[in-house]
Amino acid sequence: MTTGAMRDEWYPVGLRSKVDAGGQQTMLMGEQIRLRETPGGAVAVETADGRALPVVVGHGHVWTSLGQPTRPLFAIPEADQPGRRLVEVGVVRVRCSPLRAVENFLDIAHFPFVHTDILGAEPHTEVERYEVEIREKEDEVWATKVRFYQPQAAKSASGGITTDYMYRVPAPTCSVLYKTCPARPGEWDVITLFVQPLTEELCDVWPWMALYDDVTPMTDLIHFQQMIFLQDRSILENQIPRRLPLDPGMEIPTRADLTSVAYRRWLKRHNYTYGAQLVAQ
Amino acid sequence: MPVALSSDIPPATVIPLQTPSGPMALWRSASGRLSMSADRCPHRGMRLSHGFVRGEALSCIYHGWSYSQDGHCLRIPAHPDLEPPAAIRVATATVCETGGVVWLALAQTESQPPRFSHHTPLRSLAFAAAPTAILVALNGRASADGSMQGELAGLSVILLCAPQPDGTSMVHVLAPSDATLEERLAISSATEALRRTAETALATEAAA
Ligand code: FES
Ligand SMILES: [Fe+2]
């Protein structure tokens, strides 16, 4: 399978804090790669046959590409604001298309059923109208004015609140979520999903967060997010077809799925098809 | 073809099944009615066998869309005020139950599934062998209705074999209705021995 236009994008391949001189092995789009820290303190990534790959460190992770990225790694300016705690959640391996993993992250309608009593609960299942656009200048998908009732929106939230969200897709396998910050009204918590495509049907998901929360122990923050992703995994490994259909084909989107529809359209426009189902099945 | 035993599927539950028409979800409503639908939600492809039964409807675990026994979408929780368009439906298949066995109608058929007046279901087991190998191992007779008759532990048994897409078989064992508990246990372990024989025969054949 060809990697298509996605070959020239940046992908997370590990936590920067975990890379040392001893190095570590992983995979990117079907190719074995090796990460290690150089004596100078930088990170080097190379393929099995010794080809050096481009490297950038950002948002807690090491990023690389099998091709030649034409733009820098996307920025998350909010994450740089002082006073935030950066949470390295680690990795969750999921037997699904990397694109399916992102699409699930963009979805709120599943909260009451998959994250029951945490991110959602019946009878609060309604998804109100929200706005979705493809921002041409930034070349990103954005969903704004997303609102949803949540019994326990974050580790620092006690009791139910209606939470505001914004979703952003700055790269084909990455999404940034901005969410009402219970501890500091007026600010947004930043929760990201960085997906490493191992193959078209297997991925490593690296959630990362930049939160205003000085109270909750780090391990609790990590466990909370890991629990959420394990719940998502039970869904992602049981969808048919495994790859993300870029045309609706046999699937039926509704108004609540507008972010997913825009994401698929944006992927298609750019020929971002690694992990996509091109022929309706 | 036989797909399950009635006892495998109590009220308000759903189970996955492999059938010649692909993966299916078999579910029983709270009031006891049995239905079968494709194991794929028309919304975004989630397996419906991971879903849940509430009342007389099957709901998908992903976004909670619910479906009636005839496959029509009844409710989309994200849009509670919306009447789901009639076009939204999941494919269904015809199932019926006789004598504790659940049968799937493979084609439009008028014929009724076989009835076994002197036997009742005992248990189901997966065999890594095709029905033909099982028949040989049983040293039994095949009937026109697809069932096999033979003897296990010295008692008359009926085996219903449902071939699976991967070459294995789901075997439903029927014991004499008047068998004692001890006799039923004996048939049960004899079935496991039969499985070993059928699976070994297959391996020997492959090695030859
Ligand atoms: S995939 Fe079944 S309700 Fe969404
Ligand atoms: Fe989720």
Residue type, A163: T
> Could you give the 3-state DSSP secondary structure of residue A79?
helix
pLDDT at B206 over 80: no
Mutate to test the interface with A, among B40, B41, B44 (most CBs of A within 10 A): B44
Q: Pick from B14, B44, B59, B88 the residue to mutate for probing ligand 1's pocket: most ligand atoms within 8 Å of its CB.
A: B44
Q: Tell me the β-bridge partners of A15.
A: A61
Share of chain B above pLDDT 70, in %: 95
**A250 chain-B contacts, CB cut-off 8 A:** 42, 45
d(CA B104, CA B94): 6
pLDDT for residue A153: 62
pLDDT at B205 over 80: no
**A234 chain-B contacts, CB cut-off 8 A:** 50
Distance from CA of A207 to the nearest CA of B (A): 21
Beta strands in A71-229 (DSSP E): 85-88, 92-94, 131-135, 140-150, 161-171, 174-180, 188-199, 202-211
- Taking CA–CA distances from A242, the nearest residue in chain B reads B45
Picking from A261, A267, A273, the residue whose alpha carbon sits closest to that of residue A106 is A261
d(CA A19, CA A39): 12
- Taking CA–CA distances from B16, the nearest residue in chain A reads A238
**B64 chain-A contacts, CB cut-off 8 A:** 112-113, 122, 125
Picking from B189, B111, B115, the residue whose alpha carbon sits closest to that of residue B152 is B189
User: How buried is A42 (Cβ within 10 angstroms: 0-12 exposed, 13-18 middle, 19+ buried)?
Assistant: exposed
Domain ranges of chain A: 4-64, 78-277
Segment (H or E) for A128: none
> Could you give the 3-state DSSP secondary structure of residue A102?
helix
CB contact under 8 A, B78 and A252: no
More confident residue, A280 or B195: B195
Sheet order of strands, A61-64 included: A11-15, A61-64, A55-58
pLDDT for residue A281: 72
> Could you give the 3-state DSSP secondary structure of residue A120?
strand
User: Per-residue pLDDT averaged across B66-94, rounded?
Assistant: 97
pLDDT for residue A278: 87
- Nearest residue, CB atoms, A238 vs list B47, B78, B82: B47
Cβ(A119)–Cβ(A150) below 8 Å: yes
Residue B195, Cβ neighbours under 10 Å: how many? 19
Mutate to test the interface with A, among B39, B52, B59, B62 (most CBs of A within 10 A): B62
The interface pTM score, or ipTM, of the predicted complex is 0.95
d(CA B127, CA B117): 26
pLDDT digits (tens, 9 = 90+) for B105-148: 887 666 788 889 999 999 999 999 999 999 999 999 998 877 99
Q: Which residues contact A230 (CB under 8 A, 6 or more apart)?
A: A92
Q: Which residues of A7-18 are buried (b: 16+ CB within 10 A; e: fewer)?
A: bebbbbbbbbee
Segment (H or E) for B182: helix B181-207
pLDDT digits (tens, 9 = 90+) for A191-218: 999 999 999 999 999 999 999 998 999 9
Cβ(B137)–Cβ(B194) below 8 Å: yes
Q: What does B52-121 look like in DSSP terms, one character per residue? A: EEETTEEE-TTT--EE-TTSBEEE-TTSTT----TT-B--EE-EEEETTEEEE--SS--PPPP--TTEEE
Residue type, B129: A
- CA angle, A248 then A234 then A140, to 5°: 45
CB contact under 8 A, A122 and B44: no
d(CA B163, CA A92): 36
Cβ(A117)–Cβ(A152) below 8 Å: yes
Residue type, A110: H
Distance from CA of A238 to the nearest CA of B (A): 6
Q: A108: CA distance to ligand 2 center in Å? A: 7
**B60 chain-A contacts, CB cut-off 8 A:** 113
d(CA A61, CA A22): 17
Under CATH, which number does the domain A78-277 receive? 3.90.380.10
Tokens (6 digits) for A158:
């006690």
Q: What is chain B's mean pLDDT, rounded? A: 93
pLDDT at B43 over 80: yes
Q: Which residues of chain A have pLDDT under 70?
A: 1, 153-157
User: Distance from first CA to last CA of chain A, Å, rounded?
Assistant: 18
pLDDT digits (tens, 9 = 90+) for B96-105: 999 999 999 8
pLDDT for residue B145: 78
pLDDT for residue B144: 80
Residue B67, Cβ neighbours under 10 Å: how many? 27
Under CATH, which number does the domain A4-64 receive? 2.20.25.680
Chain B contacts to A (CB-CB under 8 A): 23, 39-40, 42-47, 50, 60-64, 76-80, 82, 88
pLDDT for residue B165: 85
